[in-house]
Structure 1
Amino acid sequence: MILRRLTQHVNDQNWFAVVLDFFIVVVGVFIGIQVANWNTERLERTQERDYLIRLHGDFVESINGQRRDVNFLDRQLSDQAIMIKSLDSCTVTPEDETPFQRGINTLGYINPPRIVRRTVDEMIAAGRTDIIRNKALKVQLSSIIALVEWRGNSFSDSVSRMTEHYRFIIEEDVRYDLTRTYADPFIEEFIGVDFDIQTLCQSPKIARAISAISYTTQERKRAYEPILQRYIDFLPVVEEELQSRWGPVLSKSKAATQ
């Protein structure tokens, strides 16, 4: 329609109408491009919001998981202290029987740093790490991922090998009874252990092995507590970004950790 009118105006040498038609075409194209750009931008920001909401959920889960692991390390340290005390006195009191057995079961049980990476990995795989506008938020997120990977990849294997070596020393003088199990809030259940405290306390290498594992457990706890704190500090940053740009988009269950 526009092209036919433009051709007619050129044939009629109606230059004002030609200029007007050309202006209408240019304005129409410009508006079309702007609308397309606006729609693209709107979709980008919607996707960014969805990524941030899911990222927030991942960190709520990461906080709960890492907090649970730190509490488990605390419990291990308590059990290991009871084991060393019992070995020093060559006596296991009735109230220390369960912690002693549980301590043997969980010697060297140390998880790598716990982080839920579903959203981060999806963004990386899709090449969308640039979709988050807030540079400070992205820097903080990258710093957390780098810290977790360093603590996990650099130390987990060496810690596992060392604690496994010391665990073998203790297991030479104990026997697991697969018919006995005990409920446990951290590992669901542990298997009963038969041991002779008199035999165990006569071997200095057993106490040294438990002491070495306890040292590693304490070191892991000290390493993981700052990671947990970084998760906790990051959560309100995401919440503030969502609140300031999109309003209250988080449910109460997602906005708080246990």
Structure 2
Amino acid sequence: MIKFFRRIRQQLLHENKLRKYLLYALGEIFLVVIGILIALQLNNWNESRIDRKKERQVVQNIYTELDQNLEYSQNILAEIEKRTLSATTLMEHTSREVQTITASTFDSIMIQAFLFPPYTPIKADLERVLGSEQIDLITSTELQYRLSDYKTSIDEAALYYRYAEDDFKLLILPYFMKNYPLKTLLLEYGLKVPPSRHKTLHTDLLASREFENILSVIFADSVGQLQVINANLNLIQSIKDLIENQYPSVVSRTDGQS
């Protein structure tokens, strides 16, 4: 092909047809430019196709992680709700002059109030995306903002949980170690241990101001935990809804894999 064009140029020069030669040269330049533009367009199209494939994979990983966190957060929320209800029930009894609650009922409620389930949602894919250039692959600006908000929400929940954990370690656990036979809790868990010979009347605990204060700390921490988990649940659901709306192929592929 190159020899063919060169032969035409030489023929035009040889025949001294300068005007035709210039027109031909311009046409050849035009064809070269068009060829370059087409090549660039094809290259850009190919790179865009690769980026969109990477984007779908990134969004799919995040969607799967969100799905796991949704179920996990709902389970933890249910545990914290039981803890809050147990603390509330016991606080109602601390205000009574005459106690009608039995020791066995007291112990069964105590085990729920004493539980302190941690909240550690999965965030490996989320942090990997937000901490790298992968975030630029996501073409949805709204999704980028929502993911950043979710990361902030997880960090805030972790911070609140550290405060609640401090209360548990520094106030709640030492109180129970001193005033309540933890063997009773082990028995309530269904573990095979001999009963404790150290008896603590539940009526004495319910009449104690210190016990009431401990219950108040458990209740306050549990309410705070419910708030941060609910906030995360709302964000998870809103991000899932956004992905399902803007990336339906990702969702259908994820459902197919499950």
In structure 2, C-alpha distance between the alignment counterparts of 1:190 and 1:78, rounded to whole Å: 27
Q: Which residue in the other structure is 1:251 paired with?
A: 255
Contact in 1 for aligned 2:157/2:225 (Cα 8 Å): no
CA RMSD of aligned residues (A): 3.3
- In the superposition, the TM-score normalised over structure 2's length comes to 0.77
Amino acid of the residue matched to residue 255 of structure 2?
Answer: S
Shift of 1:222: 2.7
Change (3 A) 1:253 1:84: farther
Amino acid of the residue matched to residue 99 of structure 1?
Answer: I
Change (3 A) 1:53 1:230: same
Q: Which residue in the other structure is 2:182 paired with?
A: 176
Change (3 A) 1:71 1:47: same
Secondary structure in structure 2 of the residue aligned to 1:128: helix
Shift of 1:190: 11
Q: Which residue in the other structure is 2:84 paired with?
A: 77
Q: Which residue in the other structure is 1:232 paired with?
A: 237
- For residues 185-205 of structure 1, give each alpha carbon's deviation from its aligned partner in whole angstroms, at most 9, with x where no partner exists: xxxx89998551255345421
Change (3 A) 1:231 1:191: farther
In structure 1, C-alpha distance between the alignment counterparts of 2:217 and 2:236, rounded to whole Å: 29
Contact in 1 for aligned 2:244/2:251 (Cα 8 Å): no
Please state if 1:215 is matched with 2:220.
yes
Say which one has the larger Rg: 2
Q: Which residue in the other structure is 1:53 paired with?
A: 60
In structure 2, C-alpha distance between the alignment counterparts of 1:241 and 1:140, rounded to whole Å: 13
Structure richer in strand, relative to its length: 1
Shift of 1:25: 2.6
Match of 2:168 among 149, 159, 163: 163
In structure 1, C-alpha distance between the alignment counterparts of 2:220 and 2:68, rounded to whole Å: 28
- In the superposition, the TM-score normalised over structure 1's length comes to 0.77
Q: Which sits farther off after the overlay, 46-55 or 90-99? A: 90-99
Secondary structure in structure 1 of the residue aligned to 2:233: helix
Structure richer in helix, relative to its length: 2
Change (3 A) 1:60 1:191: farther
In structure 1, C-alpha distance between the alignment counterparts of 2:214 and 2:206, rounded to whole Å: 12
Secondary structure in structure 2 of the residue aligned to 1:213: helix
Contact in 2 for aligned 1:137/1:237 (Cα 8 Å): yes
Change (3 A) 1:120 1:24: same
Structure 1: which 5+ residue stretches go unaligned?
184-188
Contact in 2 for aligned 1:166/1:210 (Cα 8 Å): no
Identity of matched residues, %: 12
Shift of 1:5: 4.6
Shift of 1:214: 1.4
Q: Which residue in the other structure is 2:16 paired with?
A: none
